[in-house]
Amino acid sequence: AWSAVPAGPPDPILGVTEAFKADKDPRKINLGVGAYRDGQGKPYVLDCVKKAEAFIEASSPDKEYLPITGFGEFTKNAVKLAYGVDSAPLKAGSIAATQSISGTGALRIGAAFLARHYPHAKVVYLPDPSWGNHTPIFRDSGFEVRKYAYFNPATLGLNFDALKADLLNNAPEHSVVLLHACAHNPTGIDPTPEQWSEISDICKARKLFPFFDMAYQGFASGSTSRDAFAVRHFVSEGHQIALAQSFAKNMGLYGERVGAFSLVTADPEEKARVDSQLKIVIRPMYSNPPAHGARIANTILSNEELYAEWESEVKGMAERIISMRDKLYGILTNDLKTPGEWSHIKSQIGMFSFTGLKKEHTVALAQKAHVYLTADGRISMAGLNANNITYFAESVDGAVRG
Ligand code: PMP
């Protein structure tokens, strides 16, 4: 039956991990995958997560199904974390929300809901570049996918004039605009608060629909409220946003698949109608979400002590990454005098740095130095630690000098 099925291309990020696994050199480094590693290069389970799991275990929960939209207490607390306790639509009870299969599932539910109920053309604008999964998520949901300018390769910074021109002049009214709430993946470059404010004004003037993807709340700056600035600003400006949240990075719950999708509506009556349709979208997709991860996240979000511990652990992860940025910049610039300008490594934020290394550099790094990164020159800063950062910097220096 499947003789005509063509082989698909390998996933660009998971392919890097395959090559890394096959390499037997003890110096090898994997900077491809976007998962946090501790100072010893090991996956990290947060202490607050371990404690939450102990609480859950002690309460001997059953294995019954959750409702279609998941664990309601969790979703309520997730929404509070994102929008802030002072959010007007939160207080008014007009935010429709559901648990989701992490951030990916939230995006997919949102795209499917909009595809069915958004009363305008199904056109979405993604930043150029964006997380690789955004295009297939929206395309598979029936959207036409277009790009707006974001990264300027000449400055390794934000191309804000071109971004504004695209949203002002090129995007038709009512287009959906996907915005990375913080720690833009893959570039690590975010708009400033003033620039966010301008983007909000443009979305309003051009009647664009803001769909926020918040996969790194707390992970960018170490503060969950600072990282929620863009989302909260848009909401305070009256935008009825869509929001995809993930707890993969900020709680280290990657494989537990914990997330939430929410939509700001006009009032509680509209919210109730939207909630009813979210259920109708979700039921044939996967019926209802898994319980364990949502119980962990909710235990942390609802327990004062665990919440405080979580905040300090998120901050610890963010700070370790920031210290690796400073160190890498210092070695390249001061110790090795590597040709080129490397200050973007320090100014970029979040899990990733868009180094500016070219494809040929990434090939040389893999072949000669056993260092693996994606072909676009993106490195996961979390893969660096005191034991490998000097070797990494020397390898980059070698690749750049050819
Ligand atoms: N959006 C962005 C921008 C991401 O970087 C990621 C994770 N790589 C996600 C969404 C979703 O990840 P998950 O489904 O694991 O929450």
CATH of the domain at 397: 3.90.1150.10
Give the SS3 label for residue 79: helix
The C-alpha atoms of residue 353 and residue 349 are separated, in whole angstroms, by 7
Q: Dump the DSSP string for 215-274.
A: S-TTTTTS-HHHHTHHHHHHHHTT---EEEEE-TTTS--GGG-EEEEEEE-SSHHHHHHH
Within a domain: 51? no
Establish whether residue 212 lines the binding site of ligand 1, counting it when its CB lies within 6 angstroms of any ligand atom: no
pLDDT of residue 14: 78
Distance 164 CA to ligand 1 centre (A): 25
Within a domain: 60? no
Q: Which helix (H) or strand (E) holds 194?
A: helix 193-205
Establish whether residue 34 lines the binding site of ligand 1, counting it when its CB lies within 6 angstroms of any ligand atom: yes
pLDDT of residue 105: 98
Q: Which amino acid is at 106?
A: A
Chain segment 321-338, per-residue pLDDT in tens: 999 999 999 999 999 999
Q: Are 177 and 125 in contact (CB under 8 A)?
A: yes
Q: Are 71 and 295 in contact (CB under 8 A)?
A: yes
259/379 same-domain check: no
Out of 248, 267, 302, pick the residue that ends a domain: 302
Q: Dump the DSSP string for 311-353.
A: HHHHHHHHHHHHHHHHHHHHIIIIIS--SS--THHHH--SSEE
Select from 77, 92, 98, 80 the least CA-distant residue to 238: 92
Candidate from 11, 102, 137 with most ligand 1 atoms within 8 A of CB, to mutate: 102
pLDDT of residue 88: 98
Select from 17, 14, 48, 13 the least CA-distant residue to 250: 48
Which residues are annotated as catalytic? Answer: 131, 213, 249
22/170 same-domain check: no
User: What tokens appear for 86 in the block?
Assistant: 């002072």
Within a domain: 135? yes
Give the SS3 label for residue 370: coil
Out of 253, 270, 302, pick the residue that ends a domain: 302
205/295 same-domain check: yes
Establish whether residue 248 lines the binding site of ligand 1, counting it when its CB lies within 6 angstroms of any ligand atom: yes
Within a domain: 190? yes
Percent of the chain with pLDDT over 90: 96
- Mean pLDDT for 25-35 is 92
Distance 278 CA to ligand 1 centre (A): 21
324/230 same-domain check: no
The DSSP symbol for 382 reads: G
Within a domain: 337? yes
pLDDT greater than 80 at residue 12: no
pLDDT greater than 80 at residue 167: yes
Establish whether residue 180 lines the binding site of ligand 1, counting it when its CB lies within 6 angstroms of any ligand atom: yes
Establish whether residue 110 lines the binding site of ligand 1, counting it when its CB lies within 6 angstroms of any ligand atom: no
Establish whether residue 185 lines the binding site of ligand 1, counting it when its CB lies within 6 angstroms of any ligand atom: yes
Minimum CA distance residue for ligand 1 atom 2: 215
Q: Are 95 and 79 in contact (CB under 8 A)?
A: yes
pLDDT of residue 390: 97
Establish whether residue 187 lines the binding site of ligand 1, counting it when its CB lies within 6 angstroms of any ligand atom: no
Select from 283, 246, 313 the least CA-distant residue to 113: 283
Establish whether residue 131 lines the binding site of ligand 1, counting it when its CB lies within 6 angstroms of any ligand atom: yes
Minimum CA distance residue for ligand 1 atom 1: 215
Within a domain: 116? yes
- Select the more confidently predicted residue: 33 or 222: 222
Domain boundaries, position 227: 65-302
Chain segment 229-284, per-residue pLDDT in tens: 999 999 999 999 999 999 999 999 999 999 999 999 999 999 999 999 999 999 99
Distance 165 CA to ligand 1 centre (A): 27
Distance 103 CA to ligand 1 centre (A): 5
Establish whether residue 103 lines the binding site of ligand 1, counting it when its CB lies within 6 angstroms of any ligand atom: yes
Distance 74 CA to ligand 1 centre (A): 19
User: What tokens appear for 268 in the block?
Assistant: 């509680």
Minimum CA distance residue for ligand 1 atom 12: 103
291/341 same-domain check: no
188/266 same-domain check: yes
Chain segment 64-114, per-residue pLDDT in tens: 999 999 999 999 999 999 999 999 999 999 999 999 999 999 999 999 999
- Mean pLDDT for 143-161 is 96
Distance 187 CA to ligand 1 centre (A): 14
- In ligand 1, the atom with minimum distance to the C-alpha of 259 is 16
Residue 250: how many other CB atoms lie within 10 Å: 27
Within a domain: 378? yes
41/97 same-domain check: no
Kindly indicate the confidence band of residue 34, based on its pLDDT and cuts at 50, 70 and 90.
confident
Q: Which helix (H) or strand (E) holds 29?
A: strand 29-30
pTM: 0.96
Q: Dump the DSSP string for 115-163.
A: HHH-SS--EEEEEES--TTHHHHHHHTTPEEEEEE-EETTTTEE-HHHH
pLDDT of residue 13: 79
β-pair type (258-264, 95-101): antiparallel
39/69 same-domain check: no
Chain segment 340-378, per-residue pLDDT in tens: 999 999 999 999 999 999 999 999 999 999 999 999 999
Candidate from 246, 249, 257, 258 with most ligand 1 atoms within 8 A of CB, to mutate: 246
108/254 same-domain check: yes
Check which CATH number belongs to the domain holding 231 and give it: 3.40.640.10
* Chain CA centroid to CA 368, Å: 31
Chain segment 178-215, per-residue pLDDT in tens: 999 999 999 999 999 999 999 999 999 999 999 999 99
- In ligand 1, the atom with minimum distance to the C-alpha of 103 is 16
pLDDT of residue 10: 80
Residue 274's contacts (CB-CB under 8 Å, 6 or more residues apart) are: 96, 113, 117, 263, 265
In the block, residue with structure tokens 């608060």: 193
- In ligand 1, the atom with minimum distance to the C-alpha of 248 is 16
284/378 same-domain check: no
Out of 302, 333, 363, pick the residue that ends a domain: 302
pLDDT greater than 80 at residue 56: yes
Within a domain: 58? no
pLDDT of residue 271: 98
128/257 same-domain check: yes
213/261 same-domain check: yes
Please state the φ and ψ torsions of residue 154, each to the nearest 5 degrees: -70, -40
Kindly indicate the confidence band of residue 402, based on its pLDDT and cuts at 50, 70 and 90.
confident
What total number of domains does the chain contain? Answer: 2
Q: Are 397 and 338 in contact (CB under 8 A)?
A: yes
pLDDT greater than 90 at residue 7: yes
Establish whether residue 215 lines the binding site of ligand 1, counting it when its CB lies within 6 angstroms of any ligand atom: yes
